[in-house]
Amino acid sequence: MRLFCFPFAGGSASAFYSWSAHLPANIELCAVQLPGRETRMREPLFDRVAPLTRTLADTLAPYFDKPFAFFGHSMGAIIAFELARELRRQGQTNLKGLFVSARVAPQAVVRQRPVHQMTEPELIATLRRFNGTPEIVFQTPELLDMLLPMLRADFAINECYTYSDEPPLDIPITVFGGTGDTIVDARELDGWAQQTRRAFQLRMLAGDHFFLNTTQPQIIQAIVHSLHTAGSE
């Protein structure tokens, strides 16, 4: 089985590289590198979900030849969800599970000021509150100049997303949340239950919006357990 991982806003495939050491031999890590970062720095950024998921569906198609699952954190959650729906439209049946974290349910109406439209000082202040960007980035103008355009595009993916009503997915969904997350609370996460006909589970873990960085073993353990359970059914 393959586990495809989609990063948060400003993140990249390297955020998941350490996961491979903790996954069993029968689950292959596939950390997805989106355009405009790290090894794909020179490629144009996407700022909307639909064209990105269509491109991902085409590009990753050769890797969907065996059972697989998706994991996405924050922005990555909505990418994983919409890619799952795109693959369903195409008749793909090898997707066995969806794991999302730190993102309100797709159908929820978000009424907060769009981060991607903020001025540079406001954007930097917001990033500091999110606690997901290393301090060295804020102290290095060259790094900041590279990061901010990517962040604006990534936040636009998340904030300009428009939900369209479709039947629930026919796969289990597991949602992870941080008990100290001031951006997304458990009630908003629980709305993901409406997006599946199968098993739904909400797991709250200690930490803020980036609990992903401090609870990696618990997340991986939950994913592995869920995939093995699905595989035995």
Question: What's CA 46's distance to the chain center, in Å?
Answer: 15
Alpha helices in the chain (DSSP H): 49-59, 75-89, 120-130, 135-138, 141-159, 186-190, 216-232
Catalytic status, residue 14 = no
Q: How many Cβ atoms sit within 10 Å of the Cβ of residue 86? A: 17
DSSP letter string over 66-97? S-EEEEEETHHHHHHHHHHHHHHHTT---EEE
Residue 65, SS3? Answer: coil
Q: How far, in Å, are 1, 39, 94, 175 from residue 65 at the CA level?
A: 10, 25, 7, 25
Token pair for 147: 């990061």
Write down the catalytic residue from 74, 101, 226, 232: 74
Task: Please identify every residue annotated as catalytic.
Answer: 74
